[in-house]
Structure 1
Amino acid sequence: MRQRVVIDCHALWERTVGQPGGLRAVQRWLRLNGIEPAEVPLHSEIVIEPSAFGRLIRYTTYLRNADGHRYTDPDNRDFAASEDRTAVLRVEPEPKWIGQGGIGGAGR
């Protein structure tokens, strides 16, 4: 898998939540790539793409205050505060996820 891949987190959740070990496999994959699954908004996308530094994962994560609590975005009170982050892809997603509900192919 060398092209750009877009993962719709909500669609992937819907596809895996009812399968034995399905959601745990997604959580394990995120953790192996240095991403805490509980901090990734369900209604967001994860993008895997090539870069000059190797393959990267671009994702959104919730922000926490000094007390460790999530907080609302000061610019938009309808949403939790979040930011975009980048991680090095250490482990590819499971091949069975590619091209099925939740993960798209190149570009979007």
Structure 2
Amino acid sequence: MSTHSLVPDPIDRFVTTVVSGDEDLSEEQRRRVCDWLKANGIDPNDVCGREPLTIEGSIYDGKKRHQVICFSEFHRNESGHRYADPRDRTTAMVIQRAVRQTVELAPDPRTGT
């Protein structure tokens, strides 16, 4: 009978919050995030600003890999109008999306991170 020790998973997962959804962004920050979304093929007008916007991925051998941008996108009809959320008719319905990040977010000019 052999005994096997558990090998730790060499892959770490991470979540970075870009926008929490309950904060006011400066015009500079808003432009920085919008430019990054566009560079990754996401229309900023489709992203719900009252919901979190995150980058999720894994770290293997000290390098970030498989990064995706996770956000809430407005659900629209064929003519482009937003659907109302059936649970709360005063808000727009959103769907959760994840898009592979191809362009990194520029550093925050206030902090350099």
Structure with greater strand share of residues: 2
**Could you tell me the TM-score, scaled by structure 1's length?**
0.70
Larger Rg: 2
Aligned residue number for residue 6 of structure 1: 17
**1:71-82 superposed matches below 5 A:** 71-82=83-94
CA gap 1:33/1:42 in 2 versus in 1, 3 angstroms: same
Aligned residue number for residue 38 of structure 2: 31
- 2:44 and 2:14 map into 1 onto residues whose CA distance is 23
Consecutive unaligned residues of structure 2, counting only runs of 5 or more, are 1-12, 59-64
Consecutive unaligned residues of structure 1, counting only runs of 5 or more, are 104-108
- 2:17 and 2:42 map into 1 onto residues whose CA distance is 16
The partner residue of 1:66 within 72, 78, 89 is: 78
Q: Percent identity?
A: 30
Q: Which has the higher contact order (CA 8 A, sep 6+)?
A: 1
CA gap 1:49/1:82 in 2 versus in 1, 3 angstroms: same
- 2:76 and 2:88 map into 1 onto residues whose CA distance is 16
Structure with greater helix share of residues: 1
- 2:85 and 2:93 map into 1 onto residues whose CA distance is 4
Q: Structure 1: which 4+ aligned runs deviate by more than 4 Å?
A: 97-100
